[in-house]
Structure 1
């Protein structure tokens, strides 16, 4: 059996490789695929896995990487605005290779949500369905890691500022999501399934401030501001208009409850509770 993992030099892809190895998949059965030869070489040296240099805009590289592959992890591209076309190339290559299982990392409620990040994921899920390639869709919720910068800023200033109102975020660490990928690849019964993955606990801005206080030993309070105030604060901090607007839109999605679902799917797939936010922030503080 050969499992090809795209994005293997990124955080989620590399963690997926590590979890596959931990589940007993032979290193020789794993192909770590990515764009950077130097990073792939370092990964191969550290783990013994095979590697392949791929470019989602170059179908020939995808065909070479997927030759003889039974399973393919399509970690969604980080290039917002180009994802749909890039993913289509990867799906087409998987179809040509006769892949028996494609695992795609999508977004919450991708086909039926106003989440700002959803449209390209919706297009990808539709392309997978149209391709006929057997698939498992993992709709990943928010990562704890998305808040590394917010934690550092909050500890420094004593204020966690956001325009999420009373909205909740059911986040979990990347390693839990990567473990779920490894689970659906190494267990039976997941073909055709769509899982809504999220952390076990959905936290508010006040909860984040409390967790940051406990982790750092410093007092952090949550300051809830309007979208307009948040936009102005982000621009004053040096963010360009586009980035600041994107952050405010995401906070609006959280305020509207789009990232607060706790389905329990993630914990069920990995066989244990997801890591609590405070535990993650405490480990972050110790680095």
Structure 2
């Protein structure tokens, strides 16, 4: 018996700066990256001072981790990968005309993250990213994630309701992707704060974002559950981060009641 707990953070974040991401970018996109970088302005104050190095500096990161009494971490993305319009988690899925460059930026992050985790493989479990715009590309990228040791799994970007150019998570067209994740044993991650629509630039926009972020964060679980994804792929691992869990039981109870009513009456 020991007299202490081993604490592992299940929701840390990391990312590179633009200079480092450039080293991991496909050379075919370097000129476009330089042009994009020259125009980009970082809107996040906490990433404009010395504190930003905690995203990528090993000494600073490990020191902070140990100071918090933690010994290891599961790592979600942070910062802004190449060609992204904003912070990686809140950026909408790419439009068709953006897809090629945004995917290249995402792949650069995945390559960087694999190297970042390899320096402390017992302490870091990185989560790679894919876009669901193209199922074949998503499968190719999730295979790369599995082959390159990102054992935290894959993070999916939940399409917001006003995004019509990416299949919704309940579209059967995504079944090959879920099947691949199941067969690879790769956990599928969903993170709070994704999948929100564009509230526009109005006085109430920020307040609407804050009050509705929980609802939109819960939609991936609801959509996968009601569309039968978990039944078709029973070994699929699904992880929800930074969105609490107290809402799950009442949601399932509500769905059970609704489905019982539908079965009894034959009406929706």
Q: TM-score, normalised by structure 1?
A: 0.32
Greater relative contact order (Cα < 8 A, sep 6+): 1
